[in-house]
């Protein structure tokens, strides 16, 4: 074939010869670059090792964790480049830069008073530790929180940088980046799930006849690949066994299992209700009593520290206990391993994400509660929350820190002691407990919960993605060490393709739910008049129409036309037509695939018929 191609090249013109040679060289270079970049992939060898020892289900969790590390790092780069760095450069006069602070207009003077609780005089180590855990004190006046960004405009030489507009656009940018990246990864997982679900026999054939990677030459890599294929086949057989078991159930067994599931779901609803009520009461109690303490002396009141942390502790406790109960109850419902993960995740999602919603609702009710005319003039409770955005940022910061402390404490004080007891103690109760299995649903929900906190808190704390990146980076090694030394392979293997798609689906739910409190904060709640880049605007969103009014008249008309119903209705109709076209195209492709499969089946039958005839002819 190569000789024929070389002969054909001789009869081509010089331009076509150069074009074909350049195309081949470019493909070769791209393949080499792709191969080299795979070696630079974060935790590549670690994840392959985990896949070989524990299967693709657990490997998908660590790949998911790697995705969140990269996502948070990019969000941090985005916020630091467009929000934090311009503020620091202009404030310190680097590169001959300068800044302007425009005082709010038509605002009562008492609304602009903000005195951060910075430490003064002799400070004890305990105070620094408390500030580090709660985000108050010296941390409150740093670039970590919203209140630091009071610059309205920065000049670098003759260039003007509008920080309020950049702050808002950077927020929209990191939300859009997260949304489209998650959609892209979800579609990839959905394709794998769809291909796997089409034909079970085809999946077996692919693994048995085409599952081996003949590029593998290293013995260790070969062993890992063997184990990976073994776990995949084991998962297929387990799912087939469960399907057969479900098909063979009698009416009495079906009645028993459905009654048991109804009873367990009633217990789950009761647990969810108890968690929500506990968090609501803890939040209300914390807000009422900590506000009273603030009027006294918060820095010397140790009891108030516990009251201040009470919502975070109750939320963390509920997030820790509820998934354990759900994981225990799901064993009695007799579902497949993949569906167990999905159902447990959905139950735990209601606990964790609703907890954040209850906390934010309680905070907003306190922020917007005004009983005097002075308070109503500001639009929010300026006495208790002079810079309410920083207060919300501190709550998100505390939730993230407490979540990391709990993960670390469980690994050090629960998992490792359990391993030592099982290894060195022969008592029957200890041996009955055995080594812990790596709970994928619990661990995935932990990081999805933390990521939802990060998405909500980044607007109020622009450097929170940097903390999330460091947190997930450390968690990877904590979970890896715990998995390798304290856990055992799952007794019921889990498929990676369906689980991986569902992980991203739940993450997408967390992102969509994060849109709600952010949208309310940006468009509905009045912005603080004493701090932040939106001091001169009624709400954070008000900066957009203000900047549009400064544009040329023609461009203003174009933007207003795009935002009008006359443009929205035809645009929506065109989008619907395009969507229906692709749905019809997908249906046509599916019918073609089915016809091709039928042809393959017919050809295989024809071959069997011919072989049978030839065999009979040879016998005669």
**67 and 200 assigned to the same domain:** yes
More confident residue, 425 or 173: 173
More confident residue, 201 or 342: 342
- How confident is the model at residue 261, as a pLDDT? 85
More confident residue, 498 or 383: 383
Neighbouring CB atoms inside 10 A of 48's CB total 16
Give the phi and the psi of residue 249 in degrees, each rounded to 5: -70, 140
In a domain, 156, yes or no: yes
* CA distance linking residue 439 with residue 535, whole number of Å: 47
**314 and 460 assigned to the same domain:** yes
Mean pLDDT of all residues in 182-200: 67
Mean pLDDT of all residues in 436-460: 84
More confident residue, 426 or 88: 88
* Collapsed DSSP state (helix, strand, coil) of residue 522: helix
In a domain, 221, yes or no: yes
* Collapsed DSSP state (helix, strand, coil) of residue 155: strand
| Tally of domains in the chain | 2
**518 and 570 assigned to the same domain:** no
* CA distance linking residue 383 with residue 507, whole number of Å: 37
Find the helix or strand (DSSP H, E) in which 156 lies: strand 153-156
* CA distance linking residue 594 with residue 140, whole number of Å: 63
Q: Is the dihedral of CA 128, 132, 136, 140 positive or negative?
A: positive
For residue 356, give both structure tokens: 């954040």
* Collapsed DSSP state (helix, strand, coil) of residue 161: strand
- How confident is the model at residue 293, as a pLDDT? 42
**515 and 570 assigned to the same domain:** no
Place of tokens 């974060």: 42
| pLDDT band at residue 298 using 50, 70 and 90 as cut-offs | very low
Mean pLDDT of all residues in 169-192: 85
- How confident is the model at residue 330, as a pLDDT? 83
Lowest mean pLDDT among 66-75, 133-142, 219-228, 440-449: 219-228
* CA distance linking residue 131 with residue 138, whole number of Å: 7
More confident residue, 157 or 72: 72
**150 and 200 assigned to the same domain:** yes
The burial of 246, by beta-carbon neighbours within 10 Å (0-12 exposed, 13-18 middle, 19 or more buried), is given as: middle
**430 and 357 assigned to the same domain:** yes
In a domain, 7, yes or no: no
**175 and 101 assigned to the same domain:** yes
Residue length, the chain?
620
pLDDT tens track for 315-334: 878 877 887 888 788 878 77
Statement: residue 115 has pLDDT above 60: yes
Mean pLDDT of all residues in 531-540: 84
- How confident is the model at residue 282, as a pLDDT? 79
Give exposure, 89-109, as e/b (b: 16+ Cβ within 10 Å).
bbbeeeeebebeeeebeebee
Neighbouring CB atoms inside 10 A of 589's CB total 10
CB 531 within 8 A of CB 150: yes
Percent of the chain with pLDDT over 90: 10
For residue 162, give both structure tokens: 């509008």
275 alpha-carbon distance from chain centroid: 23
Q: Is the dihedral of CA 153, 156, 157, 158 positive or negative?
A: negative
pLDDT tens track for 421-435: 877 777 777 777 767
CB 497 within 8 A of CB 192: yes
**95 and 211 assigned to the same domain:** yes
Q: Which residues contact 366 (CB under 8 A, 6 or more apart)?
A: 287, 291, 381, 384, 385
CB 366 within 8 A of CB 384: yes
- The greatest distance separating any two alpha carbons of the chain, rounded to the nearest whole angstrom, comes to 110
pLDDT tens track for 338-347: 677 777 777 7
| pLDDT band at residue 292 using 50, 70 and 90 as cut-offs | very low
For residue 107, give both structure tokens: 């605002």
DSSP 406-431: HHHHHIIIIIHHHHHHHHH---HHHH
Mean pLDDT of all residues in 494-510: 73
Mean pLDDT of all residues in 97-102: 58
Give the phi and the psi of residue 552 in degrees, each rounded to 5: -60, 155
* CA distance linking residue 391 with residue 339, whole number of Å: 40
- How confident is the model at residue 553, as a pLDDT? 81
In a domain, 533, yes or no: yes
**451 and 562 assigned to the same domain:** no
Using alpha carbons, select from 570, 550, 572, 548 the residue that is nearest to residue 560. 548
Count of H-run helices and E-run strands, the chain: 22, 5
Q: Which residues contact 511 (CB under 8 A, 6 or more apart)?
A: 175, 178, 179, 182, 452, 455
Statement: residue 206 has pLDDT above 60: yes
- How confident is the model at residue 163, as a pLDDT? 85
- How confident is the model at residue 294, as a pLDDT? 41
Using alpha carbons, select from 583, 528, 257 the residue that is nearest to residue 392. 528
DSSP 463-521: THHHHHHHHHHHHHHHHHHHHHHHEE--SS---HHHHHHHHHHHHHHHHHHHHHHHHHH
pLDDT tens track for 362-399: 777 777 777 777 777 777 777 777 888 888 888 889 88
Report strand pairing: 159-162 vs 153-156. Answer: antiparallel
- How confident is the model at residue 296, as a pLDDT? 41
In a domain, 13, yes or no: no
Statement: residue 10 has pLDDT above 80: no
**315 and 427 assigned to the same domain:** yes
Last residue of some domain: 495, 522, 550?
Answer: 550
pLDDT tens track for 601-611: 888 888 888 88
CB 529 within 8 A of CB 175: no
| pLDDT band at residue 451 using 50, 70 and 90 as cut-offs | very high
**522 and 558 assigned to the same domain:** no
* Collapsed DSSP state (helix, strand, coil) of residue 542: helix
* Helix residue ranges, H only, 248-387: 251-295, 302-329, 337-367, 373-378
Statement: residue 229 has pLDDT above 90: no
DSSP 171-223: HHHHHHHHHHHHHHHHHHHHHHHHHHHH-HHHHHHHHHHH---TT---HHHHH
In a domain, 612, yes or no: no
Last residue of some domain: 550, 573, 599?
Answer: 550
In a domain, 30, yes or no: no
CB 510 within 8 A of CB 76: no
Q: Which domain holds residue 562?
A: 554-587
Average pLDDT of every residue of the chain: 78
Q: Is the pTM of this model over 0.95?
A: no
In a domain, 613, yes or no: no
Mean pLDDT of all residues in 206-220: 72
**420 and 523 assigned to the same domain:** yes
């Amino acid at each position: 074939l190569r000789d024929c191609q070389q002969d054909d090249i001789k009869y081509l013109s010089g331009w076509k010869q150069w074009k074909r040679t350049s195309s081949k060289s470019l493909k070769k270079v791209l393949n080499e670059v792709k191969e080299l970049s795979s070696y630079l992939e974060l935790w590549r060898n670690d994840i392959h090792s985990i896949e070989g020892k524990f299967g693709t289900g657990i490997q998908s969790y660590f790949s998911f964790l790697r995705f969140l590390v990269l996502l948070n790092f990019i969000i941090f780069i985005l916020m630091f480049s467009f929000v934090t760095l311009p503020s620091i450069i202009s404030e310190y006069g680097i590169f001959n830069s300068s800044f302007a602070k425009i005082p709010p207009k038509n605002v009562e003077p008492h609304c602009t008073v903000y005195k951060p609780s910075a430490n003064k005089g002799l400070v004890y180590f305990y105070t620094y530790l408390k500030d580090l855990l709660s985000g108050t004190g010296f941390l409150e006046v740093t670039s970590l929180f919203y209140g630091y960004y009071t610059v309205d405009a920065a000049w670098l030489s003759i260039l003007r940088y509008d920080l309020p507009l950049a702050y808002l656009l950077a927020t929209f940018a990191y939300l859009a980046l997260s949304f489209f990246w998650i959609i892209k990864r979800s579609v990839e997982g959905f394709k794998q799930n769809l291909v796997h679900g089409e034909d079970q026999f085809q999946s077996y054939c692919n693994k048995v006849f085409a599952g081996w990677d003949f590029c593998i030459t290293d013995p260790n890599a070969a062993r890992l690949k063997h184990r990976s294929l073994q776990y995949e086949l084991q998962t297929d057989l387990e799912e087939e066994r469960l399907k057969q078991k479900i098909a063979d159930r009698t009416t009495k067994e079906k009645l028993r299992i459905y009654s048991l599931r109804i009873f367990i779901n009633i217990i789950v609803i009761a647990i969810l209700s108890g968690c929500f009520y506990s968090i609501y009461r803890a939040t209300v109690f914390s807000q009422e009593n900590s506000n009273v303490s603030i009027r006294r002396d918060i820095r010397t009141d140790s009891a108030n520290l516990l009251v201040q942390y009470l919502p975070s502790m109750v939320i963390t406790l509920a997030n820790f206990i509820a998934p354990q109960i759900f994981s225990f109850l799901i064993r009695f419902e007799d579902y497949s391993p993949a569906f167990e993960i999905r159902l447990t995740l959905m139950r735990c999602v209601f606990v964790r994400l609703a907890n954040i919603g209850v906390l934010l609702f309680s905070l907003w009710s306190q922020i917007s509660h005004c009983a005097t005319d002075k308070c109503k003039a500001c639009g929010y409770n300026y006495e208790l929350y002079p810079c309410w955005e920083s207060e919300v940022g501190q709550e998100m910061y505390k939730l993230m820190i407490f979540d990391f402390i709990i993960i670390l404490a469980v690994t050090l004080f629960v998992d490792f002691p359990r391993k030592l007891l099982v290894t060195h103690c022969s008592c029957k109760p200890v041996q009955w407990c055995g080594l812990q299995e790596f709970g994928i649903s619990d661990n995935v929900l932990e990081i999805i919960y933390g990521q939802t906190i990060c998405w909500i808190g980044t607007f109020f704390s622009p450097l929170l993605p940097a903390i999330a990146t460091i947190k997930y980076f450390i968690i990877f090694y904590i979970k890896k060490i715990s998995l390798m030394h304290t856990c055992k392979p799952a007794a019921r293997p889990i498929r990676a393709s369906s689980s991986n798609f569902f992980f991203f689906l739940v993450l997408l739910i967390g992102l969509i739910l994060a849109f709600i409190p952010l949208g309310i904060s940006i468009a509905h709640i009045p912005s603080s008049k004493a701090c932040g880049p939106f001091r001169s605007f009624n709400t954070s969103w008000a900066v957009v129409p203000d900047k549009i009014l400064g544009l040329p008249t023609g461009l203003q008309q174009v933007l207003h036309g795009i935002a009008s119903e006359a443009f929205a209705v035809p645009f929506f109709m065109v989008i619907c037509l395009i969507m229906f076209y692709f749905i019809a195209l997908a249906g046509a492709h599916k019918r073609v695939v089915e016809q091709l499969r039928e042809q393959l089946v017919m050809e295989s039958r024809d071959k069997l018929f011919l072989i049978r005839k030839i065999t009979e002819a040879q016998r005669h």
